[in-house]
Chain A
Amino acid sequence: MPVFPFQCKARHNRAMANVTELDVNGTRRRIDADAGRTLLSVLRDDLDLTGTKYGCGEGQCWGCTVLIDGQPARSCLTKVGAAAGKRIVTIEGLAPEGKLHRMQEAFLEADAMQCGYCTAGMILGAVALLRSNPNPSDAEIVSGMNGHICRCGTYPRIIRAIHAAAKKGGRA
């Protein structure tokens, strides 16, 4: 499991300034959020980017995964203050101009979902995995993705989708 990279030490520091701008999906978005709020809440409630999902609030399911400077991060544990000034990519930013990312295509082709609630986090986690390991083995996919929960149990299909996306190559 990747190490959670953004610990906000000033979690309860009420004096912490508000965050006024976030770089999300290549766009600077104006916000006015207490720096101690979770990135998940700011994305969903302030910016209406609801593709990022709440699953557990304790970093156990990775359903809320976003990319921060290319690294997978659990937005439910990330304070928005720690994400300010960094490049954030959510599922909505993965298919600019409507062209699906190869990982999105691979998930569709493998029917790697049922209810689809975990899918956004899965896809972003898988995108990050391929960036660090362009051609992972089954075991490497399992260890790289083991933090993610799919309660519908489509894990074998997700593994298949990641292999298929790796084979497609191209844009990571």
Chain B
Amino acid sequence: MRRRDFFTVLGGGIVVLLVDDASAQQARPRGMGRQMPQDVAAWLHIGEDGVITACTGKVDVGQNSRTSLTAAVAEELRVPVSSVRFIMGDTDLTPFDGGTAGSQTTPMMWPQIRRAAATAREMLLDLAAQKWNVDRASISIANGKAASNGHTAGFGELTQGQKLTKTIASNVPLTPATEWKVAGTSVPKIAGREIVTGAHKYPSDIRRPGMLHGKVLYPPQFGAKLASLDPSAAQAIPGVKVVHEVLAAPRPGFGSDVVGVVAPDPETASKALAALRAEWTPAPSQPSSSDVYSYFKQTAEGGPASSDGLTTYTIAYLAHVPLEPRAAVAEWNNGKLTVWTGTQSPFGVRRELAEQFQLPEESVRVIMPDTGSGYGGKHQGDAALEAAILAKAAGRPVKRNWTREEEMTWAYFRPGAVIEVAGKANPDGVIAAWEFHNYNAGSAALRTPYHVPNAREQFHQTKSPLRQGSYRCLAATANNFVRESYMDELAHSIGMDPLAFRLKNESTDERLRAVIEAAAERFGWANRKKTPNHGFGMAAGFEKGGHVATCVEVAVTNGAVKVVRVVEAFECGAVVNPEHLRNQVEGAISMGLGGALFERVEFAAGKISTNRLSRYRVPRFADMPAIESVLLDRKDLTSAGAGECPIIGIAPAVGNAIFDATGRRVRSLPMAPQGLGRAAGGAG
């Protein structure tokens, strides 16, 4: 949207454009600048009807950013939450955004939206002062109205007849956390009612007039190439059209061919897909989930480090398993492409589509309805690309919903890893040596937060047989699992209590110490009582601006691990929404239990065998421990995101508790895929 278009689209009133230096430095697509000024990070409009519209390229995949951002506007504009409308993740209406990732919505976008709203409030004060010819200082703004000595006016009355635009820098003063009235409170989920009534339209629920349904033929294994295609049987089905496109840039694993079918209903599309006769040239041999760990070492760039004296841990690949599989609806109108799709990166998907169809980016609109979760797994635009190709060929809108099997095969995965670690603790508890090598997973939380002189920590880039990508906290889960497990090994090597050992080596990070102490106190760590088959474990860490400490109790019966109780202390600066923060912490613990105990992607010869929920176990009601969250609200600190960091403590805390219960150190994730007895990999 161009600046002048605000008033065409939304009517008169006032607009605040927020200029952000940091986001201006983010990677930008080519061809930007003809539309939204490049440096605008957020904008806000107050209409002549008093309706407040705010806008961001961020999206909501269940982490409740729509609610927190709405509360930000309500806070700074002194209006009820219900009077604010938020447009999110629509590339025609919202400013460019690099993607909803890295827990950046709260630390970056949340203050920006507040600054835009605070500026609008100042503009309203000016308008009221002008209107009533009174001193600005005599005007107060509360509850959606300005008032001064007998005058009152709603925002709409003040913005009547105006077309004011103000561009501001990102350094406008904000209401301090200690004075918050709406922010910092448990504002209920904005779309809650639409969700419990089934009214909310997720991407897979979108329907367009004349819409057809599409399916795509995928290779029988990653990297297999299409040798021949006989579409005649499929084409003979009434209403079916077969589409065959060759991509300029092949998609890894999928290849360059996009072969699909469209039909009036999904069942006919499925029949047509099954009727396609294709022959494939097999891919060269690929590592399997059982030999991938040696493959990581073999393919390490610059060769692997010496393993002498190192203890090996292994981390399995994980699937995100969003309950809503990838979905997109694409529609072409006079050369312009509009796609509704569930993505954490609407502008990234727009770029993918513009490149594929050789269109200027303004000829592609990507709209992201609040989506059935992501967990870092929905950045790429595969479903959108397929829907757009099929819709173009069909000359009608096309819906492309991935099946569960497709989602669990053709999405990308959280990377597997080999991690090798060594260290030494002196008898007084001081860590004297520390060496740590991560193969493949990544470098998030690679560095130990404890005070260790001459630590050697290295991430080794390797090849991955599977397409891999982001996930909540990505490598930080793997790195924390190993570091905190090995901290426990070191504590036991000198007979020191794991809590005391951590506090002894905690460096100067008082925030880490605070969460460790808070978790230990609520858990009753000092007074824990050993009983047969039960064990206690703890872990701590920080990532993405959050600090976390986790204490757990497990019960191990005949190799079956049951996590009985979890206490997690979490601190991410000033708390934005206590109830939603607790929900994130609990959810991260629940999800993290899966990766800790039983989730793993199994594959061989380029095929995923864990491609269904009946073959890939995710946490269920019966797996839930009693969960207590302890929130440390640091109103003196900037708010950080909470969708990721709370997941990193659970796996090592559970592993340490298993050791406490059984004397057995499990050095592989998942730790108990079929109970402890058959734990794979480096189980010791």
Contact = CB atoms under 8 A, between A and B. Distances in A.
A binds B: yes
Interface of A: 34, 37, 41, 44-45, 48-58, 60-61, 63, 90-92, 94-95, 100, 104, 107-108, 111, 113-120, 123, 141-143, 145-159
Contacts of A156: 586, 590, 624, 627
Interface of B, secondary structure class, is loop
A123 B64 CA distance: 20
Nearest to B325: A54
16 contacts: A45-B266, A50-B207, A58-B404, A60-B612, A60-B614, A91-B196, A92-B199, A100-B197, A116-B62, A116-B196, A123-B196, A146-B622, A151-B618, A153-B586, A153-B588, A153-B591
Interface in B356-400: 370-373, 375
B200 interface: yes
Interface of A, secondary structure class, is loop
Interface stretch (B23-31, B186-194, B514-522, B668-676): B186-194
User: What range describes how many residues of B lie at the interface?
Assistant: 35 or more
B21 interface: no
Contact of A115 (B188, B372, B586): B372
A149 B620 contact: yes
Contact of A58 (B188, B192, B613, B618): B613
Contacts of A116: 62, 191-192, 195-196, 200, 370, 372
Given A114-B64, A117-B202, A142-B621, 14 more contacts: A49-B198, A55-B323, A57-B404, A90-B198, A111-B188, A114-B373, A116-B370, A120-B198, A146-B620, A149-B620, A150-B323, A151-B373, A152-B373, A156-B627
B267 interface: yes
A115 B375 CA distance: 11
B624 A95 contact: no
Nearest to B588: A153
B587 interface: yes
Contacts of B63: 114
Among A51, A58, A92, A94, the most chain B Cβ lie within 10 Å of the Cβ of A51
Contact of B590 (A50, A92, A107, A155): A155
B504 interface: no
B489 interface: no
Contact of B323 (A34, A63, A90, A141): A63
Contact of B265 (A41, A49, A151): A41
Among A50, A150, A152, the most chain B Cβ lie within 10 Å of the Cβ of A152
B171 interface: no
Contacts of A154: 583, 586-587, 590
A108 B613 contact: no
A48 B325 CA distance: 19
A157 B586 contact: yes
A153 B324 contact: no
A77 B618 CA distance: 21
B472 to A, nearest CB: 11
Contacts of B201: 50
B17 interface: no
Contacts of B189: 108, 111, 113
Contact of B198 (A92, A114, A150, A157): A92
Contacts of B590: 150, 152-156
A154 B193 CA distance: 17
**4 closest pairs, A vs B, by CB?**
A51-B198, A153-B590, A115-B62, A117-B372
Interface string B55-77: 00000011110000000000000
Interface in B281-339: 321-325
A54 B325 CA distance: 8
Contacts of B64: 114
Interface in B191-237: 191-193, 195-202, 204-205, 207, 213
B579 interface: yes
A104 B266 contact: no
Contacts of B589: 153
A109 to B, nearest CB: 9
Contact of B61 (A57, A100, A115): A115
B241 to A, nearest CB: 18
Given A115-B62, A149-B618, A94 B613 contact: no
A94 B423 CA distance: 59
B144 to A, nearest CB: 24
A95 B193 CA distance: 11
A52 B202 CA distance: 11
Contacts of B199: 51, 92
A56 B619 contact: no
Contacts of A63: 323
B167 interface: no
B350 interface: no
B62 to A, nearest CB: 3
A58 B614 CA distance: 8
Contacts of A158: 621
B614 A151 contact: no
Contacts of A92: 197-199
A38 to B, nearest CB: 8
Contacts of A57: 403-404
A63 B579 CA distance: 25
A152 B646 CA distance: 13
Contacts of A58: 404, 612-614
A56 B372 contact: no
B408 to A, nearest CB: 9
B600 interface: no
B567 to A, nearest CB: 13
B580 interface: yes
B94 interface: no
Nearest to B60: A115
Contacts of B192: 108, 111, 113, 116
Contacts of A54: 204, 325, 401
Interface string B237-267: 0000000000000000000000000000111
B204 A37 contact: no
A57 B200 CA distance: 21
Contacts of B267: 34, 37, 41
B612 A151 contact: no
A56 B325 CA distance: 9
Contacts of A151: 321-323, 373, 375, 591, 618
Among A45, A117, A142, the most chain B Cβ lie within 10 Å of the Cβ of A117
